[in-house]
Structure 1
Amino acid sequence: MAWIYLIGAGLFEVFGVTMINKINERRSITNYLLMAFAFISSFLLLSLGMRDLPMGTAYAVWTGIGASGGALMGMLFYGESRSAKRILCITLVLGAAVGLKVLE
């Protein structure tokens, strides 16, 4: 169950970062509330996941999902570069997170 919490935390982190971008495009109370909801949910799920997972592993996976997901969202929805080098780096980050799970 801890891994499910951790993946959920990472996905909410991606949503929160996306909402920061939305706020930069258009400031509204709805966007601020959605951002706050996303980050609160992310931290809550991260803390639940850390009950059963080592801190270093949990934090590395959470940040890996957040960083990779944010980069992918930028590529898919905000016109950021889709270069092979960027995609390779995202793959390395995700591969490292999977490696932490496998080697645990």
Structure 2
Amino acid sequence: MNWVFLILAGVFEMFGVAMINKLHRDRSWLAFALLITGFGASFLFLAIAMKTLPMGTAYAVWTGIGASGGAILGMWLYGEPKNMKRILFIAMVLGAAVGLKLVP
């Protein structure tokens, strides 16, 4: 169950990163509130997951999901460059995160 919490933490991290971009574009209180909510939920779920998962593994997976997810959202929503090298390296980050789950 803690892996589910860790994945949720990563998803909320992605949401928080997207809200940084929204806040930069809109400068609205709603965007700011969503940013705080996204990162707050991310830290909450990360803390819950780290009750049983090793800190290094949890942190690496959390940052991997957040970083690669943020890059994917940037390409999908904000027109950032989409080239094969970038997609390859995002896949490598995600593959490393999955690999950390597979090792004891």
Alignment TM class, shorter chain as reference? over 0.9
| TM-aligned CA deviation for residue 45 of structure 1 | 0.2
- Equivalent residue for 2:58? 58
- Equivalent residue for 1:84? 84
Question: Which sections of structure 2, spanning at least 5 residues, go unmatched?
Answer: none
Are 2:95 and 1:95 aligned?
Answer: yes
Question: Aligned pair count?
Answer: 104
| TM value normalised by structure 2 | 0.99
- Equivalent residue for 1:67? 67
Equivalent AA in structure 2 for residue 4 of structure 1: V
Are 2:45 and 1:45 aligned?
Answer: yes
Where 1:92 maps in the other structure, the secondary structure is helix
Equivalent AA in structure 2 for residue 60 of structure 1: A
Same amino acid, percent of matched pairs:
60
Where 2:53 maps in the other structure, the secondary structure is coil
Task: Say what the alpha-carbon RMSD is for the aligned residues.
Answer: 0.4
| TM-aligned CA deviation for residue 8 of structure 1 | 0.2
Equivalent AA in structure 1 for residue 97 of structure 2: A
| TM value normalised by structure 1 | 0.99
Question: Which sections of structure 1, spanning at least 5 residues, go unmatched?
Answer: none
